[in-house]
Amino acid sequence: MSDYESLNHSTWECKYHIVWIPKYRRKKLYKSIREDLGQEIRRLARCRECRVLEGHMMIDHVHMLVEIPPKYSVEQVMGYIKGKSAIYIARKYGNREKYFSGQHFWARGYFVSTVGRNEEAICEYIRNQEVEDMKMDQNLGLFPELK
């Protein structure tokens, strides 16, 4: 039972693979924004008693493996993280970049999948996502200078 968390009246293991994008899938998640935003997302998750087990930020989307207690829905946690992180980005980077308009940084919605017992496979997928995306872009001929 060491893999399980517990609350007052329940024992649980609720892990989710979540992916979301910036509005219009603009390529905005780069350089210092990646580092700052990664730390901020982890802090916001802790505020909702969640743990980010694995995470990776691509330039146009975010992958995250997160453990969410059953007293919160995925929708509640994602609404909180996306809303507060958009405010954080607008305050910190809003004056420097023309596309950081107000607090409308993230697109509506997200992808979520329960992890179950495939946790290690999902972690590996998240870790290697950037390499796989670059390979796909090269195969499609989108970035011939990378070959």
CA atoms of 147 and 141, how far apart (whole Å):
9
CA atoms of 20 and 101, how far apart (whole Å):
18
Q: Could you report the per-residue pLDDT of 11-68, keeping only the tens digit for each?
A: 888 999 999 998 888 887 777 788 889 999 999 999 999 999 999 988 889 999 999 9
Structure tokens at 10: 């329940």
CA atoms of 72 and 81, how far apart (whole Å):
13
Q: Give 99's contacts (C-beta < 8 A, 6+ positions apart).
A: 26, 28
63 neighbors 56 (Cβ within 8 angstroms): yes
- What is the full DSSP assignment across 83-129? HHHHHHHHHHHTTT-TT--TT--BPS--EEEE-TT-HHHHHHHHHHH
Q: Specify whether 80 is catalytic.
A: no
Supply the pTM of this predicted model: 0.78
Q: Which candidate in 72, 80, 93, 125 is catalytic?
A: 125
Q: Could you report the per-residue pLDDT of 63-111, keeping only the tens digit for each?
A: 999 999 999 999 999 999 999 998 888 888 776 555 555 567 899 999 9
What's the number of CA atoms in the CB half-sphere (13 Å) around residue 70?
11
